[in-house]
Chains A and B, each alone.
Chain A
Amino acid sequence: MEAAILLQQVANGLVIGSIYAMVALGLTLIFGILHIGNFAHGQLYMLGAFATYWLVSLWGWNIWSSMFVAMGLTALLGMVLERIAFRPVRSAPHINGLIVALGLFIALENIAFILWGGDERTLPSPYATKMITLLSISLTIQRLLVFAVSILLIFLLYLFIQKTKMGKAIRAVAQDPEVARLMGIPIHRVSSTVFAVSSALAAAAGAMVGPIFCVFPSMGLIPILKAFVVIVLGGMGSIPGAIFGGFILGVAESLGAGYISSEYKDAFAFAALILVLMVRPTGLFGKE
């Protein structure tokens, strides 16, 4: 019985961890390449969820095609935001980029509130209602899918960064923007691409998570805060860091709430972060 509960809690943590990792991936990409703490990432997550919701409920599309289209639309929006809001502050101190992101965060959330009201909506998904039980772990299929899709996206991102020409360019800019520019790498295009990919990832996370947690305008706040914690835990700009950080945070929360105290669940997550940073001030995989 005890072991069954432990397994369940770990599984709970891994599922939530994969959500954190998915959101954090996009965030760490932007931070690693462009050194911008894109707080507005949380709203791209929300908008991706809403886009999926409208496609499914208004036009009856199935959830997968809706998700792809939502990813595309959000990627476009990400590129637009990059062009008009983030590019002008790229060479300014990093705090300015953070405030720009904050401004976009506030504006986008309230626009969503005006358009769609504050009520929570259920994103219908055929996988959300069926449960499976394996080795005494009970999960809905949707939760398993979240986990699986996040692993898939992580793998695809890895392929993209390591094996494509654009991926190489991105890595070059991450290493040293000045030298990259001197080598003829189009920084603007890299910047746009990074935003597009990052936004698509956020939208995918929102679409996958929507059926579990409902869709509403302020749904992006807690995920983006946790995502910042994750990328700092894992090391800014590090993709393996975002992944491990996400899972570690998810499991730490789950076990903390499950075995110590749920009243202080959030406090544990943040305390864990502080402890890690005391030992490794630039995160688990961060560069010095």
Chain B
Amino acid sequence: MKETPKKTSGVFLAILALLILLPFFLSKAYLHLAVIIGVHAILALSLGMVVGFVGQLSLCHAGFYGIGAYTSALLTFSHWPFWLALPAAGIISGLFGLLIGLPALKTRGIYFAITTLSFGVIMNIMLNNWVSLTNGPDGLSGLALPDPIPLWAKTSISFNTPRNYYFLVGVLLLFTIFVCRRLLNSRVGRAFRGVRDNEVLAECLGIRALRYKLTAFTIGAIFAGLAGSLYAHYLRYICPRDFSFAESFDLLVMVVVGGAQTILGPIVGALFILALPKFFGFEPVYGRVAFGIILVVVMIYMPRGIVGSFQKGFPSPKGGAHGPS
């Protein structure tokens, strides 16, 4: 990615300023939408770690999202404070990521995609049918809000408004972006790229592909779990349908349409996909037709995704938004 550093940080700061000021101008309904978009931006970025960094198509990401949400919910029912439940959700999701990644990453390409799809469906069925643990299809209601953060002089930041939650999500999103950048610009990141672009060659150079793929997969799961916890304590109600394979597909679309090999891409993708229905509010079914057509058009004319099409630099061997399948 060749961009002049000054230019990007300038643009970045401007957007950041805009996003910080935005909640003071948006109505609560739009703030609500912004929170949901923010959560999905974190989710899409976490999937981007798997799809973009190491070039593997994962279709079980909504499962990790769900595990994070349910873990967080069940922990807070057992009187854990949200601020402990949040990282715990990430860790438990990460553990599942590890457990699933180990067998799944024996396969590649479309085989990997369908293997992860299978795991995702099984996770969803467990959430739905294990009624004694998850309350089944009716979901878990009455989840707690995050505990207020005490500030000076007996005031505190409470999270019962979309605006404050927006900032919470924003902070976590920035954290996710930060982690992504550090990863990508490190030795680990270079190894990721090597594995993505040419796994066989990477192996020859002594990079243990499986280890790096598993790392990316697990970290992706951790952040999906964090997103799940954020979602659960915002809406204060979760049900298995929120975490179905349809959601996994949506996330994949966000990543690829946004631009899989970029950091901004999945975020833009999330914004695009979630804001699009607003445009067709008057005739939603026609809107879905248009959505399908838009997907086709974007993929044909912007094969590296919306953000990716603006990036210069060498395309990877198979050309475009994503490495070899």
Contact = CB atoms under 8 A, between A and B. Distances in A.
A and B touch in the complex (CB under 8 A): yes
Interface of A: 31, 35, 37, 85, 88-89, 91-100, 102-108, 110-111, 113-114, 225, 228-229, 232, 236, 263-264, 266-267, 270-271, 273-274, 277-278, 281-283, 286
A89 B129 contact: no
A222 to B, nearest CB: 11
A20 B6 CA distance: 56
Given A273-B115, A274-B118, A232 B110 contact: yes
Nearest to B260: A95
Contacts, number: 144
Contact of A274 (B109, B119, B289): B119
Contact of A281 (B107, B257, B260): B107
B288 interface: yes
A281 B103 CA distance: 10
Contact of B111 (A89, A110, A232): A232
A103 B103 contact: no
Given A99-B253, A100-B300, A105 B321 contact: no
Interface residues of B, number: 50
Interface string B67-93: 000000000000000000000000000
B107 A103 contact: no
B292 A229 contact: no
A160 B76 CA distance: 62
A179 B290 CA distance: 39
Contact of B292 (A35, A107, A225, A277): A107
B320 A93 contact: yes
A103 B103 CA distance: 30
Contact of A100 (B107, B111, B289, B295): B295
A91 B122 contact: no
Contacts of B129: 263-264
Instruction: Name the residue in A100, A263, A271, A286 with the highest tally of chain B Cβ atoms < 10 Å from its Cβ.
Output: A100
A103 B295 contact: yes
